[in-house]
Chain A
Amino acid sequence: MKRTVITVVGKDTVGIIAKVCTYLAEKKINILDISQTIVSGYFNMMMIVDMTDIAMEFDAISEELEKLGQEVGVIIKAQREDIFDMMHRI
């Protein structure tokens, strides 16, 4: 399983989660976990997703998510989960 962390940071507005989730569903990306918090006034959402069944390259998904973010006015990043695991787990 190729787990990826998608983060969404920006001003809170209606429908952010809906838009991201719709996109992920279209691409057959399964959401494993969602959490959100507010850090210094900004909306922070993190999703852990499974990209095993994607038909496209990781890069392409990452770019499309970035674009989607720009449309909604937030920053969306997709990163392989390993970087967080390595840093925070022994």
Chain B
Amino acid sequence: MININEVIETNKMIEQENLDVRTITLGISLLDCADPNLEELNRKVYDKITTIAKDLVATGNKIQREYGIPIVNKRISVTPISLVGAAACKKPEDYVTIAHTLDRAAKTVGVNFIGGYSALVSKAMTHSDELLIKSIPMALSQTERVCSSVNVGSTKTGIDMNAVKLLGEIILSTAEYTKEKDSIGCAKLVVFCNAPDDNPFMAGAFHGVTEGDAVINVGVSGPGVVKKALESVRGADFETLCETIKKTAFKITRVGQLVAQEASRLMDIPFGIIDLSLAPTPAVGDSVAEILEEIGLEYVGAPGTTAALALLNDQVKKGGVMASSYVGGLSGAFIPVSEDQGMIDAVEAGALTIEKLEAMTCVCSVGLDMIAIPGDTKATTISGLIADEMAIGMINQKTTAVRIIPVIGKGIGERVEFGGLLGYAPVMKVNNFSCADFVNRGGRIPAPIHSFKN
């Protein structure tokens, strides 16, 4: 039988160390909603989402009350819309109507984000993919809850540099379309390499075509719990450090597994995966940066940061894998700047630069995330940043992503407020030496040699 100290430990994690389930994400396939008639397509999409997801929020709340564990977000991911809308959409504006439908469905069922306004173009873009990508600035500026992502590369296919070039322009354009709100549209747009089909975390969640009709994926969190556990082993050697992280990750993940199973049972929808990510929030004590500092760094960005992050990421996986029956999604420590108070402090202290963040993305998920850059950055420079990050993913056979926000009208050091879970961020310096001739070449970068395994 459970003893009182175990009960106290669990409740302390929840009440004092911000342990929570970050998201229950319901993946819904919209492939059967495809229709050459745009109106009919929109009707089918709305009906399917609002039918399957009607109990999602209530179920999340019920689990939260019965187990006493906060479930912060209830969200929906759908099949990449470029596949669903291909037959019906003849111009970018047609796609925007689907974005409005998704937004409306999200509001009806009460979820705060719906992901999947996406295109998968890792080798090349179809005409339909291109239309969807061109509609992104309009879609993200006219909707509130829709999230968009584009997969532009993979280890098996190489990198579609035409898409990378286009997305540099699209990101700037999205920033311009939402400039009254500190270019917040860009916070809802992720560019991926090796995007997973079952990621529950926004803004990059979509319901991949390899998935079933509907699936429950859960993202756990708890950087505060890991930080607190590490406070008790200050000065101890790496073996002790790693064991402590591993045990803590196991406990955190078990809660996610329980919540996922319960949600699956209550909604009668299959359980997909647990995403073992340490996801920070702007709240004090809920920071990945603070864990790295607890490991022994004055600020994130100091020499040793990449090694500390590598071991943290690896131990979280080792502890988490045994705690869950299925692991997937992104599964790694997130290092968004604006959503992590410790990262923000490190940038403001001058310890952390984009180049160091890029190095850190080699050893953890996911990429250059929630980084504000000057609004006058050139489109080709943004494409260059994307290309670098995609190359890291392609060569290292891992997921990488770029979610950067060129803040129109703001320069280096100025502060940008996104609000809520998206937090705030100082505008960071970008290396402005030109890469235009590189980006403008056109075509694609071939798949790397180690992708030929057959």
Contact = CB atoms under 8 A, between A and B. Distances in A.
Interface of A: 5, 7, 32-33, 35-37, 39, 44, 46, 48, 58-59, 62, 77-89
A11 to B, nearest CB: 16
Contact of B1 (A48, A58, A59, A83): A48
Interface string B61-104: 01001111100000000000000000000000000000000000
Contact of A46 (B4, B67, B257): B4
B261 to A, nearest CB: 9
Nearest to A4: B66
Nearest to B259: A83
Contacts of B68: 77-79, 83
Contacts of A36: 4
Nearest to B5: A37
B64 to A, nearest CB: 11
B398 interface: no
Contact of B251 (A32, A46, A58, A87): A87
Given A7-B11, A77-B68, A83 B4 contact: no
Interface of B, helix, strand, loop or mixed by DSSP: helix
Interface of B: 1-11, 62, 65-69, 251, 254-255, 257-258
Given A7-B7, A82-B67, A48 B2 contact: yes
Given A7-B11, A81-B2, 14 more contacts: A5-B2, A58-B65, A58-B66, A83-B10, A83-B68, A83-B255, A84-B6, A84-B10, A86-B258, A87-B251, A87-B255, A88-B6, A88-B9, A88-B251
A45 to B, nearest CB: 8
A62 B65 contact: yes
A87 to B, nearest CB: 5
B259 to A, nearest CB: 9
A79 B2 contact: no
Contacts of A84: 2, 6-7, 10
Nearest to A82: B258
13 contacts: A7-B7, A35-B4, A44-B8, A46-B4, A58-B65, A62-B66, A79-B68, A83-B67, A83-B258, A84-B10, A86-B255, A86-B257, A88-B6
Contacts of B67: 79-80, 82-83
Contacts of A82: 67, 258
A3 to B, nearest CB: 9
Contacts of A87: 6, 10, 251, 254-255
B4 A37 contact: yes
Contacts of B5: 37
A86 B254 contact: yes
A83 B69 contact: yes
Nearest to B3: A35
Nearest to B68: A79
A33 B3 CA distance: 10
A35 B5 CA distance: 10
A49 B203 CA distance: 42
Given A48-B2, A79-B67, A81-B2, A39 B8 contact: yes
Contacts of A46: 4, 7-8
A77 B257 CA distance: 22
Select the residue from A58, A59, A78, A80 with max chain B CB neighbours within 10 A.
A80
Contacts of B62: 59
B29 to A, nearest CB: 30
Contacts of A80: 66-67
